Chains A and B, each alone.
Chain A
Amino acid sequence: MHDLSRKQKQMLVRIFTAAALLLAVELLRSTGLLPAGGLTATLCYLVPYAVIGWDVLWRAVRNISHGQVFDENFLMALATVGAFGTAEYSEAVFVMLFYQVGEWFQDYAVGKSRRSIAALMDIRPDVANLERDGQVVEVDPEDVAVGDIIVVKPGERIPLDGQVVEGSAALDTAALTGESAPRDVAPGDTVISGCVDQTGLLRIKVTRPCSESTVSKILDLVENASEKKSSSEQFITKFARYYTPCVVIAAALLFAVPSLSLAVMDPLPAFLAGTSWSDWLHRALIFLVISCPCALVISVPLSFFGGIGGASKCGILVKGGNYLEALAHTETVVFDKTGTLTQGLFTVTSVEAQPPFSSQQVLSYAALAEHWSDHPISLSLKAACQTPLDTSLLTDVEEIAGHGVRAVIGGKEVCVGNRRLMERQHVDCPPCGHPGTLVHVSVEGRYAGYIVIADLPKPDARAAIADLKASGVARTVMLTGDSQDVAAAVAKELGLDDFHAQLLPADKVALTEKLLASTSPNGKLAFVGDGINDAPVLSRADIGIAMGAMGSDAAIEAADIVLMDDKPSKIATAMRISRKTLRIVHQNIWFALGVKGAVLLLGAFGIASMWAAVFADVGVAFLAILNASRCLRVKEFQA
């Protein structure tokens, strides 16, 4: 209970005092020491009523003087004063007491969820250890300039984005990516703010000011998310505006019409027989108690906020409630290939040697010939060749643009490149049906073999697609600028429904528009890209999802949803969080409206008591808040 605010503690004291006083008055009355009616009894009940309800009455008066009628305080004041008026003393006090208890629990529950969301966002350290004139001083991260050197000790959070100058460490990136495996960094590596240094002392050269650091951007994004409202939230705001006046008018009519009828009609109609005007007043008061839409007004935004908070715990940043809502209705998912479904790195997948050459020989010739090149393909060749290379053998390297490389290795002429190079050198190159990029090797005009290089799919790509299909995505499409053969092979391997190859960026937009036109009216189209050159498509799709956003500003700007790590499987996770959030929102809407509707109806016929009404007001709100706080729980979705 130590996390209660001062206000909450005071209220708790008032609640207990009022409850004790009420109990005392009730006891006195039941023992006959206090008369059941009359002035003394009224005054005795007024004591606990004043203790528990003075602030409600005061606020009601104050707000009316400000022109705020129909607010919660006014309605509760009216209902309880009315109950006093009809000599229902104990009921009046009880209703006020329960209203305050309910409000207290509501406040507590909302405060708790708000704190746990705030804790989620507590990823920005308040101090940075700045190196100044050979000494380390603690400063506000805002005061650190680009180019300054900061020191991060084990256990501390990195305050600003930068580059490691000295030291190495394992970083915990869980707060940013939801990924539990630590990331190792060494001098030269870039590090981003928000990660926790787990092992070693790091000296970091700051590359971005505090306001532009990754962690500031993320916080900004999550905090601004509540500005983009989902259609459920808009519905509730609109509904709340009409609901209260409608119920209050209904209450007035419920009192006025029967009371007037009682006065003027002589043979009374059946529903009026045996009732008095005070019965109708009592029923009207019940209406007033139920007329606050709080349960909905609090729980719906809280659900979305919780859902967005929970998603960010899993490394999924959602820019607004509207996107979280749209995600639940995803019908088509369009993927970019390179960097999204595939690793965006070339890897040697097989080596086919022509006897008498061995595959090891083919690979080392190729790696050696490409030794001076920084082309991604050359890098992959060098990475695949594990034996140390003797570069002293390499002489006369000649790069032939669009073809490959010709080099002299140990006195032998070696050509490494595509089929066109082989044709140019008049080397007989047997046909082969491999998709992917082929690197042919010839030695002294003789064909030695070829190396297959491919951009491998990400390890979780296949499972991600299957997962999306299992969660109800009707169509998965891949768009790529790559060749038809490569695209077909990847699409088949991953189990995609459709693919379009050899596309220019403009073609991707056109195709996405075509796909958008063919999705059903309620179905949404999500485009998933790496955010670097997909900005037009990301903004054109219903939901633009960018991945691998660690440090990429473009992705954070253009997309609606940002996946902090490179895993396509997070899309299905995001969809599940979205569906869970919507399910909870709908449960709350139907539960609140259902209970309120039922109590209104019963109240009109004089069956429901004021107790039921108080439950329909604060009780429902409390339960709806508890239910909404489930949105924050994402353990089941975390790997």
Chain B
Amino acid sequence: MKKRYALTDLDCANCAAKMENAIKKIDGVKDATVSFMTQKMTIEADDARFDDIMREVVAVCKKVEPDCIIHL
């Protein structure tokens, strides 16, 4: 399943790259992109565990860039 989320207060491009790397390392995530330009995050992950994975994604993002809010 592939889903896209809007982000607010994603302030630095380097953080976007770091978030992207961290999300890709989560188990079950097939692909992820965090676009600084469009302030959007696209996540492709296992259908069955999608909600669990998203919780992990939020946690990981909080670690990298605490100011950034993901609109689920």
| Chain A residues proximal to chain B, CB less than 8 Å | 62-63, 66-68, 71-72, 107, 110, 114, 117, 223-224, 226-227, 237, 240-241, 292-294, 297-298, 301-302, 305
Among B11, B33, B63, B66, point to the contact of A226 (Cβ < 8 A). B33
In the complex, what residues of A have CB within 8 A of residue B13's CB? 110, 294, 297-298, 301-302
In the complex, what residues of A have CB within 8 A of residue B66's CB? 62-63, 66
Q: How far is the CB of A273 from chain B (nearest CB, A)?
A: 40
State whether A72 touches B64 (Cβ < 8 A).
no
Among A223, A237, A292, A297, point to the contact of B38 (Cβ < 8 A). A223
State whether B36 touches A301 (Cβ < 8 A).
yes
State whether A297 touches B37 (Cβ < 8 A).
no
In the complex, what residues of A have CB within 8 A of residue B38's CB? 223, 226
State whether A292 touches B14 (Cβ < 8 A).
yes
A237 to B15, CA, bound (A): 11
State whether B37 touches A227 (Cβ < 8 A).
no
In the complex, what residues of B have CB within 8 A of residue A223's CB? 35, 38, 40
Main secondary structure of the interface of B (DSSP, over half): mixed
In the complex, what residues of A have CB within 8 A of residue B42's CB? 224, 227
If A66-B66, A107-B11, A294-B12 touch, whether A117 touches B37 (CB-CB below 8 Å) is yes
State whether B37 touches A67 (Cβ < 8 A).
no
Closest 7 A/B residue pairs (Cβ): A298-B13, A305-B37, A66-B63, A226-B35, A297-B13, A227-B33, A297-B14
Is B69 engaged at the interface, CB distance under 8 Å to the other chain? no
In the complex, what residues of B have CB within 8 A of residue A294's CB? 12-14
Among B17, B33, B35, point to the contact of A240 (Cβ < 8 A). B17
A155 to B37, CA, bound (A): 30
- Please name 21 pairs of A and B residues whose Cβ atoms are closer than 8 Å in the assembled complex, sorted by A: A62-B66, A66-B64, A66-B66, A71-B15, A110-B13, A114-B37, A223-B35, A223-B38, A223-B40, A224-B42, A226-B33, A227-B35, A237-B17, A241-B21, A294-B12, A297-B13, A298-B14, A301-B36, A301-B37, A302-B13, A302-B37
In chain B, residues 17-46, which have Cβ atoms closer than 8 Å to a Cβ of chain A?
Answer: 17-18, 21, 33, 35-40, 42
| Chain B residues proximal to chain A, CB less than 8 Å | 11-15, 17-18, 21, 33, 35-40, 42, 62-64, 66
Q: How far is the CB of A588 from chain B (nearest CB, A)?
A: 13
A505 to B33, CA, bound (A): 37
A224 to B64, CA, bound (A): 24
State whether B37 touches A72 (Cβ < 8 A).
no
Tell me which of B17, B33, B39, B66 has the highest count of chain A C-beta atoms within 10 A of its own C-beta.
Answer: B17
Q: A72-B12, A227-B35 given. 13 additional CB < 8 A pairs?
A: A66-B64, A67-B63, A68-B63, A72-B14, A223-B38, A226-B33, A226-B35, A227-B42, A241-B21, A292-B14, A293-B14, A297-B17, A301-B37
In the complex, what residues of A have CB within 8 A of residue B37's CB? 114, 117, 226, 301-302, 305
Q: How far is the CB of A77 from chain B (nearest CB, A)?
A: 15
A223 to B36, CA, bound (A): 11
In the complex, what residues of A have CB within 8 A of residue B14's CB? 71-72, 240, 292-294, 297-298
Q: How far is the CB of B18 from chain A (nearest CB, A)?
A: 8
State whether B33 touches A68 (Cβ < 8 A).
no
A305 to B64, CA, bound (A): 24
In the complex, what residues of B have CB within 8 A of residue A110's CB? 13
Q: From B33, which residue of chain A is reached at the shortest CB distance? A: A227
A240 to B17, CA, bound (A): 9
In the complex, what residues of B have CB within 8 A of residue A240's CB? 14, 17
A227 to B43, CA, bound (A): 11
A301 to B42, CA, bound (A): 16
A72 to B14, CA, bound (A): 9
Q: How far is the CB of A520 from chain B (nearest CB, A)?
A: 32
Q: From B42, which residue of chain A is reached at the shortest CB distance? A: A227
Q: How far is the CB of A271 from chain B (nearest CB, A)?
A: 34
State whether B36 touches A68 (Cβ < 8 A).
no
A227 to B66, CA, bound (A): 23
Q: From B9, which residue of chain A is reached at the shortest CB distance? A: A7
In the complex, what residues of B have CB within 8 A of residue A302's CB? 13, 37
